[in-house]
Amino acid sequence: MSSENPKRMLFEQFAAVARTLGNGHRLELLELLAQGERSVERLADLSGLAIANASQHLQNLRRAGLVTTRREGKRIFYRLSDETVVSLLGSLRKVAERNLAEVERVVAGYFRERDALEPVTRPELIRRMRRGLATVIDVRPQEEFAAGHIPGAINVPLKDLARRLKELPSTKEVVAYCRGPYCVLSYEAVWALRHRGFKARRLEDGYPEWKMAGLPVELQSAGS
Amino acid sequence: MSSENPKRMLFEQFAAVARTLGNGHRLELLELLAQGERSVERLADLSGLAIANASQHLQNLRRAGLVTTRREGKRIFYRLSDETVVSLLGSLRKVAERNLAEVERVVAGYFRERDALEPVTRPELIRRMRRGLATVIDVRPQEEFAAGHIPGAINVPLKDLARRLKELPSTKEVVAYCRGPYCVLSYEAVWALRHRGFKARRLEDGYPEWKMAGLPVELQSAGS
DNA sequence: ACATCATTCAATTACTTAATTGAATGATAG
DNA sequence: CTATCATTCAATTAAGTAATTGAATGATGT
């Protein structure tokens, strides 16, 4: 049915890209890739997919031009093609969020006290960092932190949080961030910190959005 | 398979929206709706779909929260839910354009001398209009013009262009616009005007993008 | 060259989606 | 309240997509 009408052909091409986004697992893979490049095995592991299945989804994404690959020895690393993909995902999220009552329900039900956590916006965080009013913690796993993070942030993976409370200021505000607006890590971190008497808030979105906004990033912190 | 993992549920919701965009006909319907609201019959007609088929696609779009409806007598009018939908479509186009060689090929092959037509950007057009350097013509059909257009534009539907050349200035530049970057009307208009000795250029995108950018629009021009 | 490991390919099965047809709704005009 | 018109619904058929399995590729280290 590939009509010769050029307009319809274009719509068909656009639709093919949208169709590729039309699968929860592929969206999850894209979100993982927004953190940085990853091998097939790693992605399969992180997303809970069988390797062959993950491989096929990744190939779909590649066919749609959303990701590209790089070989390194036996491994093949996938990464997002460019930043336009991140902004497409952002638009998709925004529309879904705004238009689907269902999304509202899931968000409200799971992310506890969403508004009570009073997220900090990106420009607000920048101002507060400049004035030394905020300690920024990156609660993602060490590996993701190493691949890029907000300059000056301290890496405190969520699972280490409880035993590293000493490192955090008890009066100054702590701002936690992770992978993006729907990443639970920072929610959990803020919740935990508050229950221990800290002043803690979340960054309203995460590292991919920071990087995408063209703000400076820092690589490879000197090891703990 | 609706897992109880909330993150996966969210991805599933987002994927549902993307899946809805994953069909050329539905994208075409959305593009038509970006011009303004339309009845089912009109949309079926414009898109060349059977009425029952168009109706079902429109209902899909509604389920995904992308469009809403309004009843008026026997007719039901569909329209886009909000501007976030236009920007989602824009992102989708941008990604597809950037990443799919196929799109490049279609565009290059069909839209003749694409670059040679030197499109005018939106801010540039605003400057030129202020200084009285450009006559702006809206080459969409009268009906679409009536539903909203760039203030000061003259409606010269493409099919009337040949017999209304007198109305256009032969020395001042004429800028034509229509429905968006992939709408052929303005391409055709510029091409025709140039071959008749006019100075003509296209606006790089169309009315939906203008409106979406929050710029002023004018309704219902008086007269013939 | 051989064994190993990461990834891809191919084939099967279960499931989803699109177009078409004709009947059913629901508002309006006579 | 009946006829008409726009739209939707329901059922069918054809086509496409996803998960799973096991075999095939292709790079590496011995």
Question: What does the alpha-carbon distance between residue A180 and residue B37 come to, in Å, rounded to a whole number?
Answer: 35
Q: Which of B23, B65, B106 sits opposite A100 (nearest CB)?
A: B65
CB B65 within 8 A of CB A100: yes
pLDDT digits (tens, 9 = 90+) for A4-41: 577 888 899 899 999 999 999 999 999 999 988 999 99
The three-state secondary structure class of A44 is helix
B75 touches strand C (CB under 7 A): no
Which residue places its CA closest to the C1' of nucleotide C15?
B1
CB within 8 Å: A17 and B88: no
Question: What does the alpha-carbon distance between residue B121 and residue B140 come to, in Å, rounded to a whole number?
Answer: 19
Helix or strand run (H / E) with residue B190: helix B184-195
Closest CA to A139 of A112, A113, A116, A165: A165
Question: What does the alpha-carbon distance between residue B67 and residue B81 come to, in Å, rounded to a whole number?
Answer: 5
Best A7, A11, A46, A184 member to test B by mutation, with max B CBs in 10 Å, is: A11
Q: Which of B12, B22, B28 sits opposite A18 (nearest CB)?
A: B22
Q: Which nucleotide is nearest to A19 (CA to C1')?
A: D17
On whether the pTM is more than 0.85, the answer is no
Q: Low-confidence residues of chain B, pLDDT below 50? A: 1-3, 221-224
A69 touches strand C (CB under 7 A): yes
Nucleotides of C under 7 A from a protein CB: 5-10, 16-23, 26-29
Question: What does the alpha-carbon distance between residue A68 and residue A181 come to, in Å, rounded to a whole number?
Answer: 25
Give me the pLDDT at residue B29, please: 95
- Which residues are A200's β-sheet partners? A174
Active site residue B183: no
pLDDT digits (tens, 9 = 90+) for A116-165: 567 888 988 998 898 888 999 999 988 888 888 999 999 999 889 989 99
- Residues 6 or more apart whose Cβ sits within 8 Å of residue A70: A37, A76, A77, A79
Cα first-last separation, chain A: 59
Question: What does the alpha-carbon distance between residue B168 and residue B139 come to, in Å, rounded to a whole number?
Answer: 13
Q: Which residue has the higher pLDDT, A109 or B22?
A: B22
CB within 8 Å: B65 and A9: no
pLDDT digits (tens, 9 = 90+) for A33-86: 998 899 999 999 999 999 999 999 999 999 999 999 999 989 999 999 988 999
Give me the pLDDT at residue B116, please: 52
Which residue places its CA closest to the C1' of nucleotide D5?
B74
Give me the pLDDT at residue B28, please: 95
Question: What does the alpha-carbon distance between residue A148 and residue A219 come to, in Å, rounded to a whole number?
Answer: 5
Question: What does the alpha-carbon distance between residue B117 and residue B199 come to, in Å, rounded to a whole number?
Answer: 11
Give me the pLDDT at residue A107, please: 65
B87-106 residues touching A, CB cutoff 8 A: 87-88, 90-96, 98-100, 102-103, 106
Question: What does the alpha-carbon distance between residue A40 and residue A49 come to, in Å, rounded to a whole number?
Answer: 10
Question: What does the alpha-carbon distance between residue A67 and residue A71 come to, in Å, rounded to a whole number?
Answer: 14
Res. A203: pLDDT tops 50: yes
A58 touches strand C (CB under 7 A): yes
* Cα–chain center distance at A12: 29
Question: What does the alpha-carbon distance between residue A18 and residue A12 come to, in Å, rounded to a whole number?
Answer: 10
Q: How confident is residue A186, by pLDDT bands cut at 50, 70 and 90? A: confident
Give me the pLDDT at residue A222, please: 47
Question: What does the alpha-carbon distance between residue A28 and residue B174 come to, in Å, rounded to a whole number?
Answer: 48
* A155-161 CB contacts, 8 Å cutoff, 24+ apart: A155/A221, A155/A224, A156/A189, A158/A185, A158/A188, A158/A189, A161/A189, A161/A192, A161/A193
Question: What does the alpha-carbon distance between residue A187 and residue A203 come to, in Å, rounded to a whole number?
Answer: 10
Give me the pLDDT at residue A155, please: 93
